Structure 1
Amino acid sequence: MKIEVWSDFACPFCYIGKRRLEEALEQFPHRDQVEVEFRSFELDPDAPKDQKDSLHEVLAKKYRTSIEQAKAMNQNVSEMAQTVGLTYNLDMAIPTNTFTAHRLAQYAKSQGKEKEMVELLFKAYFTEGKHLSDHDTLVQLASEAGLDEQGVKAVLEGNDFSNEVHSNEMEAQQLGVTGVPFFVINRKYGISGAQPLEVFVETLEKVWQEEA
């Protein structure tokens, strides 16, 4: 069974959805026969790399609401994150463009370190308040993931893996994906959003029975 996960590192529901999928796989008796692959998706390809506004301010502008309401929305999502064991520090989050982070994740995939890199990028953004467009930050995270520092620097300084990111996004368009997280199982079944754990568990079992 192959599960493809379209997500963005600045999407709070993507990190939650990732955890719920992992929890479902822990309960799934055939988990050793499941391959999970992460796919690139930018929620805001035009986002500036350096943003003077806080995450609360960005959200308030996007939804044309007050800062207080934006903070309440972020508090709600932080509480949802806690239910899957994640700590969100959204006061510290640094809104930025995620394209470079996606290129790094694609490089990590080519080196067999995708799982480690993806987790570290999500944690860096939502928990640690790190800048995901800053090259030094990305080099440090990549090093934690077990990637070669010089190789990472070469990727970040050039345009390597840009095509892979764009290709993933074009595939998402072709599949009709308009929001993330979006989970595609065996290119036949889709789960949209950070659904409850039971939805993931039931879908995995259903797909396994049908495919078997």
Structure 2
Amino acid sequence: MGKRRLEDAIKQIDHPIEVTYRCYELDPSMGRDIQENIYEGLAKKYGMSIEQAKANTQRVVQMAKEVGLDYHMDTLIQTNTFDAHRLTMYAKSQGLMKEMTERILQAYFTESKHIGDHETLTELAVEVGLKRDDVAKMLASDEMTDVVRADEQTAKQYGVTGVPFFLINKKYALTGAQPAETFVQALRKVIAEDEITVLNSQEALNCDDDGCEIPEK
């Protein structure tokens, strides 16, 4: 959801903006095959009732609809996301990071696919243009593990404790799925700060590769 709102904000700004996705696990200790549903997991984690967990999740579903996303939380499959992160970083090395990220998020939140399962991840990778055999080989190894761990270590250094977390020019941070207008304001602020203001007098000596131009009196 935060990703979609950021994308909507970027469309409103006439300036080149590069987005890079980083790795962060909310629960690195989670197993690959989880039997409990999302409501049971939230109730246990936050000490709330199943009814409260459903109500809170429904608000998330409604917010997602407002930005054109269709979340199916009733059938969402909880799993460890480490291999999904490894796949995303592999896709990044092949120039398909954004496509792979979008496909995994859709598979998880909308299609209720098991994104901890290697076969599922391989199929998703093929859909975005990666080679099946190369992906299967990568997932069966520990390739990209160091890359994911490095991102997670960087997140610790920045004090990240949850997602979404947006870092702009390694200077300004926004947390949570902020409204698109908040992103617009933040991006415009950074762009304005990066602009160079020329303060020199028109009478100043101006030199280039062809020599120096003496100002007229």
Asked if Structure 1 and Structure 2 have the same fold, meaning a TM-score greater than 0.5 normalized by the shorter chain, the answer is yes
**Distance in structure 2 (CA, Å) of the matches to 1:59 and 1:193:** 18
**Distance in structure 1 (CA, Å) of the matches to 2:72 and 2:104:** 14
Choose which of 133, 147, 161 in structure 2 pairs with 1:164: 147
The answer to whether the aligner puts 1:21 opposite 2:12 as a matched pair is no
**Distance in structure 1 (CA, Å) of the matches to 2:58 and 2:17:** 34
Residue 188 of structure 1 corresponds to 171
Superposition map of 1:126-137 within 5 A? 126-137=109-120
**Distance in structure 2 (CA, Å) of the matches to 1:132 and 1:72:** 25
Overall identity of the aligned pairs, in %: 53
AA matched with 2:161: T
The answer to whether the aligner puts 1:97 opposite 2:80 as a matched pair is yes
Give CA-to-partner distance per residue, 1:45-72, whole Å, 9 cap, x none. Answer: 0001000101111111111111111111
CA apart distance, 1:118: 0.2
AA matched with 2:8: E
Superposition map of 1:3-152 within 5 A? 16-30=1-15, 33-152=16-135
Give CA-to-partner distance per residue, 1:55-110, whole Å, 9 cap, x none. Answer: 11111111111111111111110001001100000011000000000000000000
**Distance in structure 1 (CA, Å) of the matches to 2:47 and 2:35:** 18
The root-mean-square deviation of aligned C-alpha atoms, in Å, is: 0.7
**Distance in structure 2 (CA, Å) of the matches to 1:101 and 1:149:** 15
**Distance in structure 2 (CA, Å) of the matches to 1:177 and 1:70:** 24
**Distance in structure 1 (CA, Å) of the matches to 2:51 and 2:174:** 32
**Distance in structure 1 (CA, Å) of the matches to 2:47 and 2:173:** 31
AA matched with 1:169: E
SS at match of 1:78: helix
AA matched with 1:93: L
Please list every run of at least 4 consecutive aligned residues from structure 1 whose deviation after the TM superposition is greater than 2 angstroms.
Answer: none
SS at match of 1:177: coil
Gaps of 5+ in 2: 196-217
Residue 12 of structure 1 corresponds to none
CA apart distance, 1:154: 0.7
Equivalent pairs, count = 195
SS at match of 1:184: strand
SS at match of 2:72: coil
Gaps of 5+ in 1: 1-15
SS at match of 1:74: helix
- What TM-score do the two structures reach when normalised by structure 1? 0.91
* Greater RCO structure (CA 8 Å; 6+ sep): 1
